[in-house]
Amino acid sequence: MQAQSGAKAGYGEFKLGWPVVLSAMLGIGLGLSPLPFYTIGILAPELAREFGWGFAEILGGLPIMTFAVLIASPLVGLLADRIGVRTVALVSLLLFGLAFAGFAANTGDIRLFYATWGIMALVGAGTLPVTWTRAVNNRFEVHKGLALGLSLVGTGLFGFACKPYTAWLVEEFGWRVAYLGVAALPLLVALPIAFIFFHDVGGKTATAAERRVADAERKAVTPGLSFGQALKDWRFWVLAVAFVPISFAVGGPIPNIENILRSNGFEAGDIVTLASLIGLSVIGGRLLGGWLIDRIWAPGVAFVLLSAPAVACWLLAQGTTDPVIAGLSIVLIGFAAGVEYDLMAFMVARYFGLKSYGGIYGALYGFFALGAGIGPVIFGQYFDRTGSYETILLYSAVGLVAGAALLLLMGKYRDFGGDRTEATAAAERTTDPDFAA
């Protein structure tokens, strides 16, 4: 009887929440997190030929973006807590698309190039998972992990698709049109869908009084720690410290994967085929990870899925020329890249609650972005100095195991007052006439 009730509640969650999941999938997948990261490898050679910039100079935009995200993501999270995730997400999608298009106007000034990276990160920080996952967490309880996985699958889907799309634009129209074509995706696809479908619990209310009532009801059924309390909690710092080496070791190889394979002796055709496995395995990691953390203790899942790429790093460091081994290694890295965001979002909700979810997740995302931002550059610098990725891959293997092991210290989930599913749905029906129908 209890299982039947849970299944019914889960069905109700998706019946009410699918528009939010769809909007989040497109908003995250066409936002700041994947698009600049997955397209830079295609566009960098074109910029180098056009302006004579070095590859390391071009990749220097990534740590600038990281530094800007470190500043902006906690502020965006706190702003989302105050004025709502819908407003933050929609405005940021618009500004991110316009800022990304600004790369097309560069005439060879590397300072302008770096400034564009910084501006894009500052205005686009609202497209990061911190905003979208807040609404998803508010909608789902029984299938929270799966809903987060589906929401975040966009990074793998568009990470896989944007590489050939960008390459086609470059080949047919040149790199400037390629920048404009990629910039059009958040503006013409994600923004209209989010404008129609993306609403947080209590977000579609008619008056300020109703919004205050809805917010009070939401907080009543979703208690948790304040931002200040979270900063004093040792679990916050365990997550912060753990995700720096994890994001470094997972994020570092991805933009360099083509060159890693090339340095190991793979032919061009094999490189394209093997590199494409990254995006597909990210999708698999999103779905498998989301399904698992709904059923198994999340830090345990994290330890297994985030330690496995250590084997991949070790295999790639040996200079393997076996396409099966290389493909398996890439899949393991992609799976880890797919599950990182889900795990962070899930654990923030389970250990700190949703009272100040935006601010807490935003602060933790800053640590995550630190590792992911400097990883590709340091990988590239090691290759420039030594002509090999062996040493940095071995360091990454150690970092993955150490970071994943730290997560085992998190302990059991906090109890914030039981099942929110029916209360959340009731609050939504009370304040949202569209869903009441």
pLDDT, one tens digit per residue, over 312-364 is: 999 999 988 889 999 999 999 988 887 887 788 889 988 998 777 777 887 88
Q: What is the DSSP letter of 102?
A: G
Enter the tokens of residue 176. 């400037």
Enter the tokens of residue 43. 């566009």
Question: Residues 6 or more apart from 398 whose CB is under 8 A from it?
Answer: 310
Question: Are 141 and 120 in contact, with CB atoms under 8 Å apart?
Answer: no
Per-residue pLDDT, 201: 64
Per-residue pLDDT, 214: 58
Instruction: Report if pTM > 0.75.
Output: no
Nearest-10 crossing angle of helices 61-83, 110-124: 20
Residue 188, burial from CB neighbour count under 10 angstroms (0-12, 13-18, 19+):
exposed
Per-residue pLDDT, 90: 94
| Distance (Å, whole) CA 405 – CA 273 | 33
- DSSP H stretches of helix in 234-356: 234-251, 253-263, 268-275, 277-293, 298-317, 323-352
Phi and psi dihedrals of 341, rounded to 5?
Answer: -60, -45
Question: Are 382 and 252 in contact, with CB atoms under 8 Å apart?
Answer: no
Query: What are the structural domains of the chain?
Result: 10-200+224-416 (1.20.1250.20)
Per-residue pLDDT, 3: 43
| Distance (Å, whole) CA 104 – CA 90 | 23
Enter the tokens of residue 148. 């987060």
Question: Are 220 and 349 in contact, with CB atoms under 8 Å apart?
Answer: no
Residue stretches of the chain with pLDDT short of 50? 1-8, 204-209, 211, 419-437
Per-residue pLDDT, 92: 95
